[in-house]
Amino acid sequence: MFRSQFTGHELATSPYFRQVSKYLLIPLQLAWRFWFYIHAAVVVIVFYPVYFVLLQRKKWFTHVFELYKVCARIMMFNAGIFPRILKHRLPPPGRPFVICPNHVSYLDIVTTYIAIPRYFHFIGKAELRNIPLFGHFFKEMNIPVDRGSIMSSHRAYKRSQEDMDRGISIAIFPEATIPEIAPRLKTFKNGAFKLAIDKQVPIVPVVYLDNWKIMPDRILKRMHAGRPGVTRIEVLDPVETTGLTAADTDALKKKVYHLMDECLRKHRIYT
């Protein structure tokens, strides 16, 4: 009698089976991802008239912020994405700070509005202004920057300083872009750390542990288009900059990098 070469367990755990399964799941993952984008667009369209009115006055921007937090939760909940904050440490109320999240997914911007409850402005790439409807919200309230332009970078830095003088926190991805090696950290840029030292405000590192699996970049390379599920977030203890000078920028950058890298390793995202 013919006898199978593999047991069920051996087949399920074989590299060949896992590879075939990965290919078979791609259409389902792409359908889910398409649903997320369509639903997110519908949410923005539905709330856009309210956004448009509230963006007419800067004194109403805090209401825009609260509305966007609601929209972020709706987008994620209806796509089956459930944020779970494992740790949450923020400076005392009334004191602005620089938010430094790792950048592993296009989901990171939305997730930041859930991770950080206090009002802040984002510094982001200028291309975000070109996204229909969302671009209007981004350019009116947040800080677009063309990283290839020295003039644009200078304007963005000056605007972020002015915002901090008004008590507004600033969110900056220290890696600037989603790295090809994500979820591993890419070398940090100086901007966030220079700003924190200039204004003598703390840095709050934020670590997204699962966004790279929930909504990955470079789908073809990873052969994984995304999935619903729990996305864990750690908001680490604030890193003080009081008394630091421009000469300490590199040391501060390395310290924050180490803290975030250590968090990712602790959760076995990589070793």
pLDDT digit string, tens, across residues 114-157? 999 999 999 988 888 788 777 777 888 999 998 778 898 899 99
Domain at 8-266, CATH from 3.40.50, 3.40.1400, 2.40.50, 3.40.1130: 3.40.1130
237-256 exposure pattern, b = at least 16 Cβ within 10 A, e = fewer: ebbebeebeeeebeebbeeb
Tell me what pLDDT residue 138 has: 84
Tokens found for residue 83: 């944020």
CA atoms of 63 and 84, how far apart (whole Å):
24
* 3-state SS, residue 43: helix
* 3-state SS, residue 62: helix
Characterize the bridge pairing of strands 98-101 and 203-208.
parallel
pTM for the full model? 0.88
The number of C-alpha atoms within 13 Å of 134 and in the hemisphere containing its C-beta is: 18
One-character DSSP codes across 70-117: HHHHHHHHHTTEEEEEEEE--PPTT---EEEE---BTTHHHHHHHH--
| Residue 115 CB-density burial (10 A; 0-12 exposed, 13-18 middle, 19+ buried) | buried
Tell me what pLDDT residue 11 has: 45
The number of C-alpha atoms within 13 Å of 125 and in the hemisphere containing its C-beta is: 15
Tokens found for residue 102: 């790792």
Tokens found for residue 101: 């999240």
* 3-state SS, residue 179: coil
Partners of residue 81 on adjacent β-strands: 229
Tell me what pLDDT residue 186 has: 95
Mean pLDDT by groups of 10 residues along the chain of 271 residues? 50 53 76 92 93 93 95 95 90 95 95 96 86 80 87 92 96 94 95 97 98 84 80 97 97 98 96 83
Tell me what pLDDT residue 80 has: 96
